[in-house]
Amino acid sequence: MDTIPRKLHDVLAAGHNIWVATVAPDGTPNVSIKGSGSLIDDRHIYFADLYHKETLENLRHDPRVAIGVHDFAGKVAMQIKGHAEILDHGDLVDEMRQKLAAVGEKWQLPPVTTVIRVTVDSVVDLWPGPHAGEEEVLAGAAGDWKTYD
């Protein structure tokens, strides 16, 4: 597979809640919901990190990430595995600031200072049925996980 599956692409293209799992230096797991999950292209997604400093600190230590996406109406439940890059400036950060400006004002959210760009290595279908648990490894994906100190 060369790209994110079409049904996942369609969910993320419009923006969607995602659950982001990271791990602390001592091995403690962390999961955090992000309301800003969006698609960059067929190999990358991104989200803003507004509140959960733990997510950001964990990614500084170890950029590996697992992301859950669930859209009941669209019958989509998938897990994305990839590696994250922390961005604090540039076009993607500016785009996210603009995208969240109206929502941020309404909900009194802090300003966007950090955007996480994730390169997708694999996608696992989690929807009940004959393909549940099947992994679709992206062509050219990293494959072996590395440990980052």
Q: What is the pLDDT of residue 103?
A: 67
With contact defined as beta carbons under 8 Å apart, do 100 and 49 qualify? no
Distance of CA 28 to the CA centre of its chain: 19
> Homologous superfamily of 6-137 in CATH?
Electron Transport, Fmn-binding Protein; Chain A (2.30.110.10)
The pLDDT confidence band at residue 139, using thresholds 50, 70 and 90, is very low
Cα–Cα nearest to 21, from 34, 8, 9: 34
pTM of the model: 0.81
Alpha-carbon distance 144 to 149, whole Å? Answer: 16
Closest C-alpha among 28, 15, 16, 79 to residue 54:
28
User: What are the pLDDT digits (tens) for 60-77?
Assistant: 999 999 999 998 888 888
Residue 12 has pLDDT above 60, yes or no: yes
Q: Residues 51-61: pLDDT tens digits?
A: 768 999 999 99
Output the pLDDT for position 149. 32
